[in-house]
Every structure is written in C-alpha cells, then in structure tokens.
C-alpha cells in the first residue's frame, strides 16, 4: 500500500519557512508584494484567487486582488499590468486563468515583466528553464511544488523513467524541463498518445495532469511507482476527484498524492515561496 504524500502538511511547513523569510525582509524594511488579476466571476477562479490573497496577507505580504468585470477590454487589463510592472512595491504579478474569450491571454502574459512573472510563464523564463541556465528566474508554481515534494519525500530522480501525462504550459512542459534538468529520463505524453498505458507502465515516476477523471487505473501503473495526481475534476455528485483512480492505484504505488490535499496546497505555497524569492533577488541580488 502506498505512502500518501500529505500536501497540506508539507504546504504548512513551507509556509512557515516562508513566513520566517518574510519577517527577515521586513526587518530590512522590505515587504514582498504580489498582485493577482482576476477577470470575470468564474467560481473556481474566485476561490483560488481569494485563497491566494488570504494566504499572502497572513504571511505578511502586501497583497492586491485586482478584479475586472467579464466584459473588460484588452487595453484596460494591459494598462493594469503596466501599472504593476512599474510599481516598485510589487514583486510578483499573476493573471488568473481562464480569461474571457475577448482577451488575448498570451499578450497579457508576455506583457508582464520577466522579473515579476511569478507564474514562470513569460517566454524568457521558460527559455531559461528549458536551457537549464544558471541564475535566478521563476518557474511554474505547480511543477515547483512537485519538485519540493520529491525533495522532502527523498524521491531520487537521477536516471529514473519519468512520464508526464498532459502537455500544458502550466504543468506538463515546465515539469518535463525540471525533471530533465534533474537527470531523469522524461517522456511527455497526452490523452492523444497511442497506447498510453504501455508508456505509463514504464514510469518510475508518473505525473498526471490531463483533466480527465480516473484516467489512470491500477493496471496502468508500475509496481512501486511514485504517482503525482495534478488533476482536479468535479463529478456530477459534487465530489472532487483526480486523474488517477486513487483507491486502486494506491495498492501498487510506492508514493501517491491524494485529491484534494495533495498538489493543490503546494501550488499556493510555492507561489508564496517564489514571491519571496523574487523580493530577495530584487533587493539583495
């Protein structure tokens, strides 16, 4: 039976470390600042942004939740990004997805200053990650949180077969780069991959971020694998479930994340952690 990775407890530990770093910065007269831009009234986005705002405030950040109506135009959102780009009290800018159809999300992301791109989605930061360049730059928060899980649970990545299901720019692609940079042998797949189970069964480390409830079954997983479930799906019953059949896959895996309570809390903790990083980089080099 698998050991369950407790994302909630790990996030508490990371947040405690972050709070100590915030306190040290504030002793120097520096308060980390983050702004989250929310467009429209998508219920899930409302919850996510509110949770981020509350956590940032609790940790001692300057936190701004900037809301726009669903019918806002491109120029108004771009002007807000430029405002916070120029605001010296803001270290990190995040635009909550999804955005309404009339907005060009790519243009908005690309308008964020790379050194304030707390989500790690600017092409310059992605390029540095893929090139495995040295130096300071942000990376996508969910993959960063997963790498923290591997570190805290002593998961050895070197030489291991790592399979990622889902190729999004938020999770799959930066996750593949981070694993490659850690010397894992990485395979990036999707729900369109022919005979996907034949590939997932080879994985020592399996990360699933496809947005498909219970896509991965017990027979799709190698005995002793580490299984990270990024999926969050709401069933007709209202219950939240992941992309992995947790009950049965946990019989064969060595380590597994639950949904909820696994990757989700670590994503927010990593966002807070990275905002403090960016404040330290900006002020202390």
Q: Which residues are catalytic?
A: 52, 96, 119
Q: 208 near 216, Cβ under 8 Å?
A: yes
* 92-95: strand order across its sheet: 62-68, 33-39, 92-95
CA 120 to mean position of chain CA atoms: 9
For 143, list phi and psi in degrees, rounded to 5. Answer: -60, -40
Q: How far apart are CA 32 and CA 60, in angstroms?
A: 8
Q: If you count DSSP H runs as helices and E runs as strands, how many of each does the chain have, helices first?
A: 10, 11
Q: Are 94 and 120 in contact (CB under 8 A)?
A: no
**Vertex 225: Cα angle to 205 and 222 (nearest 5):** 110
Those residues whose C-beta lies under 8 Å from the C-beta of residue 191, and which sit 6 or more positions away, are 165, 166, 210, 212, 215
């Amino acid at each position: 039976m698998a050991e369950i990775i407790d994302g909630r407890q790990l996030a508490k530990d990371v947040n405690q470390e972050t709070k100590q770093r915030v306190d040290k910065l504030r002793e120097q007269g520096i308060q980390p600042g983050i702004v989250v831009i929310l467009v429209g009234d998508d219920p899930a986005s409302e919850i996510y942004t509110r949770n981020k705002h509350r956590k940032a405030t609790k940790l001692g950040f300057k936190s701004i939740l900037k809301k726009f109506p669903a019918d806002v135009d491109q120029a108004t959102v771009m002007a807000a990004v430029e405002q916070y780009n120029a605001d010296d009290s803001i270290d990190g800018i995040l635009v909550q997805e999804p955005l309404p159809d009339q907005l060009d999300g790519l243009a908005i992301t690309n308008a964020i200053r790379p050194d304030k791109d707390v989500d790690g989605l600017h092409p310059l930061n992605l390029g540095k990650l893929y090139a495995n360049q040295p130096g300071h730059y942000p990376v996508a928060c969910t993959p960063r949180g997963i790498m923290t899980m591997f570190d805290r649970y002593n998961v050895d990545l070197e030489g291991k077969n790592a399979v990622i299901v889902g190729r999004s720019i938020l999770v799959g692609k930066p996750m593949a780069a981070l694993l490659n940079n850690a010397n894992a042998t990485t395979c990036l797949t999707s729900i369109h991959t022919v005979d996907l189970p034949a590939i997932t069964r080879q994985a020592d480390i399996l990360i699933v971020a496809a947005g498909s409830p219970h896509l991965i079954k017990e027979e799709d997983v190698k005995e002793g694998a580490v299984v990270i479930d990024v999926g969050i799906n709401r069933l007709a019953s209202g219950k939240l479930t992941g992309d992995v059949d947790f009950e049965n896959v946990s019989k064969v895996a060595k380590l597994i994340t639950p949904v909820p309570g696994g990757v989700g809390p670590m994503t927010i903790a990593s966002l807070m952690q990275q905002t403090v990083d960016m404040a330290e980089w900006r002020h202390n080099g």
